Structure 1
Amino acid sequence: MAAADSQVLIGLCDVPIGKSCTSTFFTNKIGDLPDLLPAFSLRYPYCAICGSALVHVVQVYCPLGASRYHRTINVFACPQQQCSGKTESWKVLRSQCLESEIKAKSDSQRMKVKEPPMATSDWCEGADDWGIEEEEGTSASPAHNHTNTQSSFLPKLDVSYGLQALSLTEAHQSASPRPELVFPESVPIFRPYYVCVLEEGDIDEQTDMEDAHRLLREYEMREGVAVMQLESFEGQGELERYEKTDAKHGDKVFSKFMKCISLCPKQILRYSWNGSPLFITDPSSSLTQTVPPCSYCGNPRVFEFQLMPALVSLLESINSTSELLLEFGTVLVYTCRDSCWQPGRDSPAEEFVLVQKDPDHQLFSRPC
């Protein structure tokens, strides 16, 4: 169960990432190629089922509040039809580094740049300006020109690993060049978009409500179930009731899923570190056994975020001559509770992903 004061962050699709824009590992985005941390190397992931190169789905910058590490998570999936909806065809990679490592890498690259010979005029008019241009040239700068809506997913982590609070802050943009990436030939790429972030409690109740009510009415008519409002009972907390006990497909979990996202049906991502996931189908009773402990330190993994059905319609290939197929109900990402990391590590750590199929594909297949 999530802590009582847990907050949920909502990710929404923002403007496309244009050719003139750049991104770094600080950037929350859909599609594109992953941005590696400085001095990192990536052995590009392949599908465990068919062996095809995976496509990059989302990148989330999500440092833990009590940690000194920058932290980015990249999610990949296989776009082949025979692998659609299968957990084995997805991969999640977590990358971390310290600010000192970024600075060291930047300093190392500046040392390799050959300084031009000093002219005699440098001793004259510009003598008092020594160092100013260099400092300005190496100061932190935004990774792109869209920082007004770029927020990071920042859960607060205390020594007992409890989720205390969540905050939305602009990621500090360090001046670090994009690492050289080597990819296999014909890597599939989804069209890139920025992701903006807001707290679920800040969503205007009137936002998209007309569309939400339409979807709910269609669902209720088709499934013969009326989704009732949550009602509070003193001493019992919030209980959810339904006019009929079962939908036609017998999935009350899906009905709850629809109710929860109706306030913001266009959400593409829900973030709640160490919180409770929103299941689209009934999870197995042995879910705690399904999610394995961290393969690096042996500690338990916790839920961190999930991808939502509205993301499916946004995943389009940048190549108009090729079609990339990726369908899912929701994708649940679980990561090491301690976010363990060995100093000096230069490659991402693989985390656990669980894919749930959409029990009612037609409901989410309409464009937003």
Structure 2
Amino acid sequence: MAAPPAQELTLIGLCDGELDSKKYQSSYHTNKVGGQPDWLPLISRRYPRCGRCGAPLAHVVQVYCPLDASPYHRNLHLFACPGAECSAGPECWRVLRSQCLEAEVAAAQTPSRSVPAQAPPLSATDWCDTADDWGMDEGGDDGWGGGVKEDSQAPAPEAPAPEAEAVSDIDVSSQLQDLTLGESQEDVPVLRSFFISVMDESDLGEEEDDLQHAQRLLKEYEKREGVKVGELDDCGEGGSAEEKYEKTRARHGDAIFSRFMKKISPCPQQILRYCRGGKPLFVSEPPPNMAQMVSACGSCGGSRTFELQLMPALVSLLQRKDSGAEAELEFGTVVVYTCRNSCWTVGSRSALEEFCFVQADPDQQLFK
């Protein structure tokens, strides 16, 4: 049975305080900004390099995002070059996906325990309506750890043609050839780390409806009493969200950007949006051939689907560790597309590269 449209559920990530490594030991379950990446137990510690200047990339975001009908733990790691001339270039960003079975995690913790040779493969058609809950199921280590189903069963996908296998091997090799093992930690830029908390965007809509209802009651009161109390201000000092949006629209005259601003106006501090299988929120007009630009999965040759995007409010959080200086990262949004089948080989030690698309911000100071 096919899953219902994923667009109905959009999750937004918010900064939830600094992650102090002296007080809290993060793991692959942790959703965070910056810091060192927490790889799954079997995954090799690899640090990608900038495709433009060759410098090692800084770890920007880590998301724990298992799929509901999958037996795998699953992580996405985004990296970017903090160089002043690099952050806006697509070749200066990398996104890596890694997966691991619970049995493999247990075996890594207990070396004498053997790892099963086979595991039920993931079928995209078996996703249910909670497949995109981004770890929000109850019972997780930190409230986000749901979605890993060890007992999940799925029909085996058709084997790829020999030609597809050959292309896949070449593609994966070429994608990972500039990843380096054993990179000295001193050489890798580290950003200050912050927890990411999550909420359902539809909850914001309820708050907005309440505000509109209150404004309507106020206007009725003013009309009935013949007095002018003033407009409700839901943004504190400086005017309402609607007023700020109108000013932005007049300033830019860009329908795409105006739509972007209106969509995020209930919560402009959001740093990440997650809606696997949904539609990204572009900050400016995307290329007309956007669908063709999103390349096929380098591992299985299948198509990719939108999964998450980084938002402009994240930029002000990207500061170098033990330093007050901000990193040189500037962007409007970074849109991530991942393998629709989330393909994976049991026992693999190498993270797979996915596709990201970077848009510059037409007015970055609005978010600082």
Q: Say if 1:215 and 1:363, in contact at 8 Å, map to a contact too.
A: no
| 1:82 to 1:43, Cα distance in 2 relative to 1, 3 A | same
Give the superposed CA RMSD: 2.7
Match of 1:341 among 344, 360, 363: 344
Secondary structure at the counterpart of residue 8 of structure 2: coil
Separation in structure 1 between the aligned mates of residue 128 and residue 282 of structure 2, nearest angstrom: 20
Tell me the equivalent position of 1:221: 247
SS at match of 1:83: coil
CA distance in 2 between partners of 1:109 and 1:213 (Å)? 63
Matched, 1:102 2:105: yes
The residue number in structure 2 matching 1:151 is: none
Match of 1:164 in 2: 129
Kept after mapping to 2: 8 A contact 1:305/1:333: yes
* 2:37 aligned residue: 34
Counterparts in 2 of 1:270 and 1:355: CA distance versus 1, 3 Å = same
Q: How does 1:42-191 map to 2 (within 5 A)?
A: 42-108=45-111, 159-160=124-125, 164-165=129-130, 166-167=132-133, 168-170=136-138, 172-173=140-141, 182-184=182-184, 185-191=186-192
What CA distance in whole angstroms lies between the structure 1 residues aligned with 2:259 and 2:360? 16
Specify every segment of 5 or more residues in structure 2 that has no aligned partner in the other structure, as ranges: 115-121, 143-180, 212-232
Alignment correspondent of 1:12: 14
After superposition, give the CA deviation of every residue in 1:75-95 in whole Å (9 maximum; x if it has no partner): 000000111211110000001
Structure 1 residues 282-301: aligned runs within 5 Å: 282-301=285-304
What is the identity, as a one-letter code, of the residue corresponding to 2:18? P
- Say whether the 8 Å CA contact 1:163–1:273 is kept in structure 2: no
Q: Distance in 1 between matches of 2:311 and 2:85?
A: 21
Counterparts of 2:239 and 2:74 in 1: how far apart (Å)? 38
Q: Distance in 2 between matches of 1:92 and 1:290?
A: 16
> Residue 171 and residue 308 in structure 1: after superposition, are their counterparts in 2 closer, same or farther (change >3 A)?
farther
Q: 1:171 to 1:90 in 2, by over 3 A?
A: farther
Taking structure 1 as the reference length, the TM-score comes to 0.73
304, 307, 316: which is aligned to 1:304?
A: 307
- Equivalent pair of 2:42/2:347 in contact (CA under 8 Å): no
**Number of residues of Structure 1 aligned to a counterpart in Structure 2:** 290
Length-normalised TM-score, structure 2: 0.73
Please state how far the C-alpha of 1:296 moved relative to its aligned partner.
0.7
| Residue equivalent to 1:210 | 235
User: How far did 1:325 drift?
Assistant: 1.0
Contact 1:273 1:305 in 2 (8 A): yes
- How far the C-alpha of 1:190 sits from its partner, in A, is 1.0
Paired residue type of 2:235: E
Change (3 A) 1:249 1:172: closer
Shift of 1:202: 1.6
Q: Give 4+ residue runs of structure 1 displaced > 6 Å after superposition.
A: none
Task: Check the 8 A contact 1:163/1:274 in 2, yes or no.
Answer: no
* Structure with greater helix share of residues: 2
Amino acid at match of 1:221: K
Structure 1 alignment gaps of length 5 or more: 112-156, 175-180, 225-247
AA aligned to 1:164 is D
Match of 2:5 in 1: 3
Name the SS of the counterpart of 2:63 in structure 1.
strand
Shift of 1:217: 2.7
The 2-side partners of 1:202 and 1:171 are apart by 22
> Matched residues, percent identical?
49
Conserved 8 A contact 1:6-1:164:
no
Instruction: Give the deviation of 1:221 after TM superposition.
Output: 3.1
